[in-house]
Each structure stands twice: as C-alpha cells, then as structure tokens.
Amino acid sequence: MALSSQDQLKHAVARAAVDEILPMLDRQTVVGIGTGSTANCFIDALAEYRHDFDGAVASSQATADRLKKHNIPVYDLNGVGTLPVYVDGADEINHQLHMIKGGGAALTREKIVAACAQTFICIADGSKHVDRLGGFPLPIEVIPMARSYVAREIVKLGGDPVYREGVVTDNGNQIIDIFNFMIDDPLDMEVRINSLVGVVTHGIFAVRGADILLLGREDGVARYTAS
Ligand SMILES: O=C[C@H](O)[C@H](O)[C@H](O)COP(=O)(O)O
C-alpha cells in the first residue's frame, strides 16, 4: 500500500532522529521513547541499530510492546535515572518548542520520561507546527472521581471540556479534552492547570519543552533548536 504524504514525512523525521542520536549511542545507552504514530516510525527505524545501544524506557504500554517486538530491552525508569535523550511526537508545537501532547492519552508517562531526559527531540510532520497552541484540543488526565470538578474549573478558565468516553489511561485514569482554548502563555497555563486538584497531568509541555524539533516538510526535514 502506498504511503500518504503525511506518513512519508513521519518516516523522514524518524530517520532524521535516528541520525541525530546515533553519535550519542554506546552499548550502555538507554533511550527514552514516546508514543504515537510518529514515535512508532522512530522505533522501527531505530531497531536497525539495536545492537549499538542497551535498551529503552517506554512512555506507554503500546510503545513497550512495539520495542519488545523488535527485541529491544525495555527498562523501568526507576532503575535507569537520567536518560541522555527522549524522542517523541507532538500534536502541536510552536516556535518556542512548547507542545500540546496527549492525543493518544499517553501524556503522563511521556511527561515523566521527558523530565528525566537531558535532550528532548520532537519529531513531527509540518502540519503540527503552529504559531499559537490550542487548535488541537488540550488533553487533561484526571483522577476519575474529579472529572466533573476539573471540567467545571476548566469552564471558568474559558475552555469547553469534553469527556473522552471509553478511554482509560495506562495509569487507570480518564481524559478530558479542552476545546476552544487558545493558549497565549503556555508556561503560565501549564502551571495553572497543574494546580487544579484531581488533575494528574495535562498536555501542555512548556516547562519542559523540546530542545530540538525535526520537522518534516515536503522539501525536506528542517531542524530547529529551542532559543
Ligand atoms: O499521547 C500521545 C502522544 O502525546 C503523541 O506524541 C501525540 O499524540 C502525537 O502522536 P502522532 O505522532 O500519532 O501524531
């Protein structure tokens, strides 16, 4: 089956991310790996080099399963400590390399693994690059009993919360997506939503944004760094 042009861009940025991290790899290196269709392309490209590094920490069960299929060892983050690099996709990314993530409900583990990484490389196709975050509904992972409370607090902040029915996160929690919620100051909004009781994590990645963006465009992969 022919790949769509968006799929081709995902493959191109995944390959570029492998090229970016190859100089960092030795037989002791453990790599942090995100979740989603772009991260899956990265896993498949990295598998060719599985004898050149030790293994990976996965940000979701789905990623762990895919790594294991490639015979890449998967480690518990608690036994690994600091990771040299974390590679993941995004739902949106702005020019400051702040992101919205969590479209696949993996945001909490992604944020934890990203926090432990020295370098965060975001890989995305060009459709994800935006001037202002918020076109993509912002996911919030909530403790189930707090769902309605958090939703009411989000309405006070100006957003339209929608319960993502039928989705249970890897941590046993639920997801609310906030629609119509443009984010002018991602750093401030990340902290404000974090302070709501019952919120486990939400999808603004600004306090720990990306360090490098590899962006797939029709004319090639562009590389940006956080200023
Ligand atoms: O929860 C999912 C993650 O945050 C993904 O990184 C994000 O949704 C991007 O996924 P994809 O590469 O499939 O667009």
ipTM value:
0.97
Question: What's the rounded mean pLDDT across residues 62-89?
Answer: 98
| pLDDT, tens only, 86-98 | 999 999 999 999 9
- Provide the CATH number for the domain around residue 121: 3.40.50.1360
pLDDT tens sequence across 205-214? 999 999 999 9
- Does residue 1 carry a pLDDT above 60? no
The 10s digit of each residue's pLDDT in 160-188 is 999 999 999 999 999 999 999 999 999 99
Per-residue pLDDT at 227: 75
218 is catalytic: no
Kindly give the number of the ligand 1 atom that is closest to the alpha carbon of 60.
Answer: 1
The reply to whether 70 falls in a domain is: yes
Predicted local confidence at residue 63, as pLDDT: 98
Question: Cβ distance 212 to 121 under 8 Å?
Answer: yes
- % of the chain exceeding 70 in pLDDT: 99
Distance CA 145, CA 158 (A): 22
192 within domain boundaries: yes
Q: Which residue's CA is the closest to the ligand 1 atom numbered 2?
A: 104
Cβ neighbours of 36 (radius 10 Å): 25
Catalytic residue among 110, 141, 153, 190, which?
110
The predicted pLDDT at position 53 comes to: 98
Q: At CA 132, angle to CA 173 and CA 104, rounded to 5? A: 25
Q: What is the pLDDT of residue 2?
A: 59
The answer to whether residues 154 and 79 belong to one domain is: no
The dihedral region occupied by 36, where left means phi > 0, alpha psi between -120 and 50, and beta the remainder, is left
**Range(s) of the domain holding residue 49:** 5-130+207-218
Place 73 in a pLDDT band, splitting at 50, 70 and 90.
very high
Tell me, what CATH number does 145's domain have? Answer: 3.30.70.260
Asked which of 3-7, 23-27, 149-153, 182-186 is least confident by mean pLDDT, the reply is 3-7
Whether residues 67 and 149 fall in one domain: no
* 113 and 143 share one domain: no
User: Is-contact 139 181, C-beta < 8 A?
Assistant: no
Give the residue whose CA is nearest to atom 3 of ligand 1.
102
pLDDT of residue 3: 66
Residue 225 lies in a domain: no
pLDDT above 90 coverage of the chain, percent:
96
Q: What is the mean pLDDT of residues 135-154?
A: 98
Residue 159 among known ligand-binding residues: no
Q: Same structural domain for residues 109 and 155?
A: no
| Per-residue pLDDT at 84 | 98
| CA atoms of 83 and 224, how far apart (whole Å) | 21
Q: Considering only the C-alpha atoms of the chain, give the largest distance between any 2 of them, rounded to a whole number of Å.
A: 52
